[in-house]
Structure 1
């Protein structure tokens, strides 16, 4: 499945929304490259809502692919060929940015891969996996299992879960409570800091 963002006049902000029933799926894969921010909020129903906010000279060509395979639904960003190839010598001077907001049923396992996105997640999920290169990851009021990996970004989590494993190579770990080692939540970063806040 593909839906195309319809172009608007000029290069003003453009918003597109789509909703679909995902009761059949157990896993949601999100592959968002060159998306600067991803917001995830969990919901109790089985409706997945995706809202894209884009602006810039390529906004009318930005696409989202929906790929169904078994019990897994993959949602991925697709950019104009000219933007990917680098053939446009002026592309470096053109503004193009995308923000993605999602409402996802809380009983789903979510796997997110991104290069630059700052990830903000609110609420409960069955399982959340995040892999980012330079973006930060913020989890608020999180319950469930999680594995968060960043290269340069910080990790900030507010959770009631107690069994947390955290590791940073070049950063620092800050926690308001002693960590009870376990595999409920795994946090790892190379150059970022990790902030853990227990929200009983």
Structure 2
């Protein structure tokens, strides 16, 4: 089983304020890659879009008192790159890691080749997806999901956040337990999407 773990220490970019913002930029060869996964519980925003290149670009942004102790981790497990934010193993918080976590603001932007599989999970992040994918799966607790583009299949679930979807050539199944579904006409086609929210709204619009 091919597996590697890459950790990137952050490069500081001073933008003012009580704490400077720090960023990590990394490119990964997409040859042999079939999917992207994000474990996003440490993130407040996740943006993923596609391009025509054969490279994966990832940029993470951090703010907060303990930002120097955070790592962007990219793990390749049998053709799926999983991104996550972890604490440096040498980090020793004098209080506790939960209190330190509350002082961190982290965002992640990823640009990938088209037609990959995408799997995102987060307790708090907003998710923005734009482009052409094979399959998209997202489970969000507090965040909203804004997805625009094409995917052969999509399965989006939110608890408290809303879902905004713009696509074409798709059959879309929706369920909003305590919210509303606002649906504008889109062209029918072979793609199959399922959108589900417990407390949020669901909006469906055409790409045109």
> Displacement of 1:89 after TM fit?
8.7
TM-score where L is the length of structure 2: 0.84
TM-score where L is the length of structure 1: 0.87
Aligned to 2:32: 24
C-alpha RMSD over aligned residues: 2.7
Aligned to 1:4: 9
CA contact (8 A) 2:12 2:21 kept: no
Counterparts of 1:63 and 1:39, CA distance in 2: 18
> 19-28 or 163-172: which moved more?
19-28
- Aligned residues between the structures: 198
What do residues 7-63 of structure 1 show as CA deviations (whole Å, max 9, x unaligned)?
A: 567721122211111221112111111200011111122211001111111111111
> Displacement of 1:71 after TM fit?
2.0
Secondary structure of 1:23 counterpart: coil
Which consecutive segments of 4 or more residues in structure 1 shift more than 6 A? 178-183
> Displacement of 1:177 after TM fit?
2.0
CA contact (8 A) 1:149 1:188 kept: yes
Aligned to 1:165: 173
Identify unmatched segments of 5+ residues in structure 2: 1-5
> Displacement of 1:171 after TM fit?
0.5
Identify unmatched segments of 5+ residues in structure 1: none
Counterparts of 2:79 and 2:174, CA distance in 1: 31
Q: Evaluate the alpha carbon distance shift between residue 144 and residue 16 of structure 1 in structure 2; reply closer, same or farther with a 3 A threshold.
A: same
Where do residues 123-142 of structure 1 align in structure 2 (5 Å cutoff)? 123-142=131-150
Q: Evaluate the alpha carbon distance shift between residue 179 and residue 199 of structure 1 in structure 2; reply closer, same or farther with a 3 A threshold.
A: closer
Aligned to 2:192: 184
CA contact (8 A) 1:143 1:160 kept: no
Counterparts of 2:186 and 2:107, CA distance in 1: 35
CA contact (8 A) 2:167 2:186 kept: no
Which of 48, 51, 58 pairs up with 1:40?
A: 48
What do residues 67-104 of structure 1 show as CA deviations (whole Å, max 9, x unaligned)?
A: 22212221112135667x96269648x63101111101
